[in-house]
Amino acid sequence: MKFLDCNCFVGTPTHREIWPPADAPALAREMDRAGIERSLVWHIAQLDLHPGVGNDLLLRDIAPYRNRLIPCLAIPCPHTDEMGDMDEWFGKALSAGVGAMRICQPRGNYLVRPEVVGGIAQKLIQHRIPLIYSIERGGNWNELYDLLKAFPELRIIISDLGVWPADRMFRPLLDLYPNVHVEISQYFVPGGIEANVHRYGAGRLLYGSGFPACYHGALMLLTAHAKISEADKMAIAGGNLQRLIEQVRP
CATH code for position 149: 3.20.20.140
Number of domain units in the chain: 1
Selection from 47, 95, 87 nearest residue 71 by Cα: 95
> For 38-94, how does the pLDDT look when each residue is reduced to its tens digit (9 = 90+)?
999 999 999 988 999 999 999 999 999 999 999 999 999 989 888 999 999 999 999
Percentage of the chain lying above the pLDDT 90 cut: 83
Of 14-28, 98-112, 159-173, minimum mean pLDDT range? 98-112
What per-residue confidence (pLDDT) applies to 104?
A: 66
Average pLDDT over residues 201-218: 96
Spatial distance between the Cα atoms of 152 and 183, rounded to a whole number of angstroms: 19
**Contact criterion met (CB below 8 Å) for 179 and 155:** yes
> For 9-40, how does the pLDDT look when each residue is reduced to its tens digit (9 = 90+)?
999 988 877 788 899 999 999 999 999 999 99
**Model pTM score:** 0.95
Residue 185 has pLDDT above 90, yes or no: yes
Average pLDDT over residues 107-127: 90
Domain range for residue 232? 3-246
